[in-house]
Each structure stands twice: as C-alpha cells, then as structure tokens.
A and B are shown apart, each in its own frame.
Chain A
C-alpha cells in the first residue's frame, strides 16, 4: 500500500470517528435531557453559558463510561482537531522515508506550531 493511501485512510477514519462520537453525544443529550449538571435548555441556547473553557480535556474520558452527552461531543470535536495533527505527523514520516531532509525539517516546524498552539500556549497564558 502506498503511503499516500495510508494518509487518505487516516483522514477518513478521523472524520468518521468524530462524526460517530458527536452523533452519539447528541442522541444521548436528547435522551437524558441534561449533561454534566447543565439542563438541555442551558446547553442548547444561542447564548449558552456552556462552552469549552469550562471543560478540561483530561476529564473527558471519565465521562464516557457514564454516557455523559457533552463528553461524547467534546471527544468527537477533539478527534476532529486531532485529525490534521496526525496528518502532519504522518507527513514527517513520509518525507523522512523519502530522505527529503529539507521537507522533513519544514514539516517538523509545522508540527511544532501545532504543538505550540495546543500544549505550550495554554501554559504561557496560564489557563
């Protein structure tokens, strides 16, 4: 199998997985009518007070076993954001296999930018 096909499948799997989790979360939300201590009316209003700043990504896995709707939705959204990150990571491997030094370095810089935005900035800003 060509490495490009692996990348194509990785992207597709990422999108499908995230859609599955998001849809599951929405189904649970309408079934249970609440999530994580918020009622569905609070969650589903245009000016909702429920947003990503009050959710810690590392708390999400524990909410999955209790079928907590918002945790499913957030996991789906996180997988969606992670898909291009995985794609860049595969890009580094691809260029390394081709022994293309310049582009291996360029892709590592792109990967660093992503890691900077996802992990380093939150520490710098102190949130």
Chain B
C-alpha cells in the first residue's frame, strides 16, 4: 500500500492527466478518472465517483469564469435546461445511493463502460460543421427566447443563431443529469448532444453552455453524495487540485494542437477503459 504522501502525489498526477485529456477531448476529466481510480488504484467506486463529481464543479466554475468574457455562453438557454439537469441529477444520485446500499455496484461499472463506449461514437461522428443548418423557428423559439449572437474569432464574423425544440432539449438534459448523478461525471457529451443535435445550436454555444451547466448539475449531485458519505476528503481534495491544474494546462495546449491523430489515441483510451469497466462489472478479474 502507498504511503499517504505518495498516495496524494499519485492522485494529483492522475487527476491532472485526466484533466488535460478531459480539456483536450471536451469530455471533462471525470470520464477518465473514475475508471483509472477504480481499475488501477483499488479505490471503491463510491469514493471515485464522489471525488470526480466534486472535481467537475472545479473545472466548470474555473472555465465558466473565463468563457463569460467571450459572451458565447447562452445563460438563458443554459438556465432553462438546468431545470431538467438538476432534477435528473437528484433522481440519479438517489438511484446511486440505492444501488450502493444494496451492493449492486456491478450495475455502475457496466453503465459506466457503456457510457465510455458511446462517447467513442460521439467522438468519431462529431459534427464537422461549425455552424448548424438554418432552420425555421418553432413555438418554443419565441416562448423561451432561444436566440442569440456571438462574435466568432475563428470565422471572423458575428454569428446569429436560433434554437428550436426546447422540449426535446429538456428530455435529453434530464437524462444527462441522471447519468451525472448516477456515475459522478459531468456528462458534458450528452449535454452538448442535447443542444447541438436536438436544439440546433452552434457547436461553440453548445460546448460553453454545457460547461456552464455542468457545475450546477454537479453541485446538486454532490450535496446528495455528501449526505450518503461518498465524499472522501483526502481523495476529493487531491482530485480537485489535480483536475484544476490539468484543465489549466489542457486549455493552454488546446490552442496549439488540433491533431487528428491525437483524437484517435484518446478514442483508443476510451475503448480500452470502457471494455475494462464492463468486464469488471461482469465479474472478470481486475
């Protein structure tokens, strides 16, 4: 067993690496953290999820304070969808509490594995277009004020956009919140899917708004995790610090590289961890 100081350093390094990977892939650090903690460090999945959920608040709040300056995040759309994510998170966290108290952890491993593998699909089929196709506004566009504009520095133009199908966005967001509470991750990929695919918002708006939402969703889940004793202070402390460092480094690297090869390596890591999580859930080794 590791000495306390060694253990702490290992936690900080692993979460910093996860934070870098998370920032580069846009998946958030938690996606990599929970599998690495449970598969290789012998940390119970309850504590791993608790620490990772807390760490997503750190990255979300840290990044959101920077994004607010750019005025790309659509606070109205984000806040409207938070109704569904926070509700979903409450249901998800309580489901998790039921699962752990009945020793059904294998379900969490399997669901986590499936979520990891489904991320692979989302990573590969990532929309190639920066801007969505023009659509006709529907009744929700007007009622919920689903429009906005931002200045795109890459395209060097002011982008005006409208959102549609608010209700479909809400349904997907409830599910995203549920997964976040269930697994202790930010479930940013699902949130982006809800805004990008269902509501037809530009990619930049979806990702920054999703990042803003993750903090509020995770805060809801964390308080329930806290109540049930899933927050292990030593682990959560090291993880929060590590992920913050990692996310900071990650965003600095991000502006320099957008290499396709790197995306394939990340995808391979996702497949590897996903299969291991499922196998562990089914009772094979590890």
Query: With A22-B240, A44-B234, A88-B216 in contact, do A110 and B61 touch (Cβ < 8 Å)?
Result: no
Of the stretches B75-83, B119-127, B193-201, B253-261, the one at the interface is: B75-83
Interface code B60-92, partner A: CB below 8 Å = 1, 0 otherwise?
Answer: 111011101101000110011011001101100
A121 to B221, CA, bound (A): 12
| Structural contact, A4 and B68, CB atoms closer than 8 A | yes
Q: Which residues of B contact A9 (CB under 8 A)?
A: 65
| Structural contact, A77 and B224, CB atoms closer than 8 A | no
Interface code A84-122, partner B: CB below 8 Å = 1, 0 otherwise?
Answer: 110110010011000010110011011001101110011
| Structural contact, A54 and B229, CB atoms closer than 8 A | yes
| Structural contact, B233 and A52, CB atoms closer than 8 A | yes
User: Could you say which of A73, A80, A110 contacts B216, with CB atoms under 8 Å apart?
Assistant: A110
Considering the complex, which residues of chain B in the window 143-195 have a beta carbon less than 8 Å from any beta carbon of chain A?
143-145
Query: Number of residue pairs across A and B with beta carbons under 8 Å?
Result: 191
Of the stretches B19-27, B39-47, B103-111, B277-285, the one at the interface is: B39-47
| Structural contact, B61 and A15, CB atoms closer than 8 A | yes
| Structural contact, A52 and B234, CB atoms closer than 8 A | no
Q: Which residues of A contact B220 (CB under 8 A)?
A: 113-114, 117
A87 to B128, CA, bound (A): 33
Query: With A8-B69, A15-B58, A77-B233 in contact, do A40 and B4 touch (Cβ < 8 Å)?
Result: yes
19 inter-chain pairs at a CB distance below 8 angstroms, sorted by A residue, are A5-B68, A14-B61, A19-B244, A30-B5, A43-B233, A46-B43, A48-B47, A70-B233, A80-B57, A81-B54, A83-B215, A84-B60, A87-B215, A88-B82, A103-B145, A109-B83, A110-B83, A121-B223, A127-B227
Residues of B within 8 A of A (CB): 1, 4-5, 7-8, 41-44, 47, 50, 54, 57-58, 60-62, 64-66, 68-69, 71, 75-76, 79-80, 82-83, 86-87, 89-90, 93, 143-145, 215-216, 218-238, 240-241, 244
